[in-house]
Amino acid sequence: MLDIQRIRDFPDEVRQAALNKKSPVDIESVCALDTERRETIQEVERLKRLRNSRSQEIALLKKEKKDASGLLEEMRQVSDKIKELDANLKTIEERLHEKLIWIPNIPHASVHHGESEKDNKEVSAWGTPCAFDFEPKDHLHIGSTLDIIDFPRGAKVAGAGFPVYKGAGALLERGLINFMLDTHTRKNGYLEIFPPFLANRESHFGTGQLPKSHDQMYYINEDELYCIPTAEVPVTNLHRDEILDAAALPLTYCAYSACFRREAGSYGKDTKGFLRVHQFNKVELVKFVAPERSYEELELLRKDAEGILQALGLHYRVLLLCDADLSFAAAKCYDLEVWAPAEKKFLEVSSCSNFEDFQARRMNIRYRPSNGERLRFVHTLNGSGVATARILVALLETYQTARGTVRLPEVLQPYLHGMKEISPR
């Protein structure tokens, strides 16, 4: 959530930022409730001071054997009024909280204005599109011919969008995950976490998925648990309601998880094969950092994610998202998109975001500065490092051969028992 003081001081900025994110909010009612809350608190405090003062007067009168009935009646009325105001204050705070949780994060000053994802800006690219001396096949044809992916049987078991990996396909998927985890832990210094794949409402609220994205999530009503859409949710919530040691920052974690998304409202989008699925695998990177370092850490996070794509030899580009395409909680975000030759388009495989203190306020994650200053909220960052589904699309289509095989990047071969290419069985 945003700091209420920021909303008080810059209501027009907050209102415009929400409009730019396509999430209009009623800032006037927020400010009115905030004013009513503060005035109520002031009145309660005034009455409590009066009650204390009258209590001393009553005690003095009783000591002197004088009549205190008038003051006692006044005290009773004051106490009743305090109870009434306390009840009103609770209602006001609940109404204010309900409005605050729908206000999106404010984009960083370096984020440009746009109307849609079409206004995102390419800031860099790596590699070049591969050239073929034959007509390249798409990943579905390749996966079916090699008998390594089975969407029809996945649909039979669970429904459309739940793929089955077979043989070398399963080995390749597992190899990708292990390669990424090894790279981020051994080379990039992240601490590996293996989190739950289910999380409660508080956890999803903390990272900003709830209440806004409820319709995109799988919910288990009996247990009040949600299937996680990303390991960001459980990993970031590891430190909910904690005070971190400033000397330990930044904390950098990586985690593999299966990810579950209903993809409600995706009608009309390309849902072929792995382009849009309900279950996929991803290695997530999460950072807890001091505010003054958060944007430097964002660039390092992006570099770590790009390193995976470079090691795999995949052509990709980096997009800086405009304000209209930013997520609800993000202040700044880069998307990494790999080139899929047969699809003839770029596919998003990673989003690297800085949330500043937006998530930390929702989760109450603070740290104590080493100079003895008061507690401050940390900044949280995360990024895919990376998601495997569309990486698999790019790998199969980039490394296919005219013989119908798929060559394997050298960095993956140790994870596939030395296999150099996947051939038909």
Active site members: 261, 276, 348, 351, 390
3-class DSSP string for the chain:
CCCHHHHHHCHHHHHHHHHHCCCCCCHHHHHHHHHHHHHHHHHHHHHHHHHHHHHHHHHHHHHCCCCCHHHHHHHHHHHHHHHHHHHHHHHHHHHHHHHHCCCCCCCCCCCCCCCCHHHCEEEEEECCCCCCCCCCCCHHHHHHHHCCEEHHHHHHHCCCCCCEECCHHHHHHHHHHHHHHHHHHHHCCCEEECCCCEEEHHHHHHHCCCCCCHHHCCEECCCCEEECCCCHHHHHHHHCCCEEEHHHCCEEEEEEEEEECCCCCCCCCCCCHHHCCCEEEEEEEEEEECHHHHHHHHHHHHHHHHHHHHHCCCCEEEEECCHHHCCCCCCEEEEEEEEECCCCEEEEEEEEEECCCHHHHHHCCEEECCCCCCCEECEEEEEEEEEHHHHHHHHHHHCECCCCCEECCCCCHHHHCCCCEECCC
Is the peptide bond preceding residue 414 cis, with omega within 30 degrees of 0?
no
As a whole number of angstroms, the distance between CA 59 and CA 52 comes to 11
**Maximal C-alpha separation, the chain:** 109
As a whole number of angstroms, the distance between CA 228 and CA 279 comes to 10
274 backbone dihedrals φ, ψ, rounded to 5°: -85, 5
- A 10 A CB-CB count for 196 gives 13
Helix 11-20 vs helix 27-63: angle between axes, to the nearest 10 degrees?
140
